[in-house]
């Protein structure tokens, strides 16, 4: 499975932007880049995904490097509710097999 590398932890202040990096140097051409987050005592929650172009939704933005070997999840104004573990995942598919494999993620702490 293609792997991702994320910092173990990051810290941010409330109402400031947060840039969460992810390296995926072995990404293949058909791998989608997915981001999920897990708030304390909850199940993982889908945040955003992309293939080649930058993506925006109501939760966040995803900036994908031109060579696709790295990406950055951007939270434009962090709130206390954004404190969570953020997972960057390469969604590998082969035929009818689809797998989402979670790594250790980045623990984001938001300071008031």
Partner 1 sequence: DAGVIQSPRHEVTEMGQEVTLRCKPISGHNSLFWYRQTMMRGLELLIYFNNNVPIDDSGMPEDRFSAKMPNASFSTLKIQPSEPRDSAVYFCASSPAGGRNYGYTFGSGTRLTVV
Task: Name the site residues for partner 1 (rule: CB under 8 A).
Answer: 32, 34, 36, 42-46, 49, 91-93, 96-104
Alpha-carbon distance of 76 to 11, in angstroms, equals: 14
Task: Report the distance separating Cα 60 and Cα 74, nearest Å.
Answer: 6
> Shortest distance, CB of residue 96 to partner 1, whole angstroms?
6
Q: Are 43 and 37 in contact (CB under 8 A)?
A: no
Of the pair 94, 112, the CB lying nearest partner 1 is at: 94
| H or E element at residue 39 | none
Residue 59 CB, nearest distance to partner 1 (Å)?
11
How far is 47 from 87, CA to CA, in rounded Å?
Answer: 9
Give least dist CB 23 to partner 1, A: 19
The residue among 63 and 100 lying less far from partner 1, judged by its C-beta, is 100
């Amino acid at each position: 499975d293609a792997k991702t590398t994320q910092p173990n932890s990051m810290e941010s202040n409330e109402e400031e932007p947060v840039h969460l990096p992810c390296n995926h140097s072995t990404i293949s051409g058909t791998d989608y880049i997915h981001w999920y987050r897990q708030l304390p005592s909850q199940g993982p929650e889908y945040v955003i995904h992309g293939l080649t172009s930058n993506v925006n939704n109501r939760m966040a933005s995803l900036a994908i490097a031109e060579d696709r070997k790295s990406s950055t999840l951007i939270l434009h104004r962090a709130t206390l509710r954004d404190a969570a573990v953020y997972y960057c995942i390469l969604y590998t598919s082969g035929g009818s097999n689809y797998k989402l494999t979670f790594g250790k993620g980045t623990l984001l702490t938001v300071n008031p």
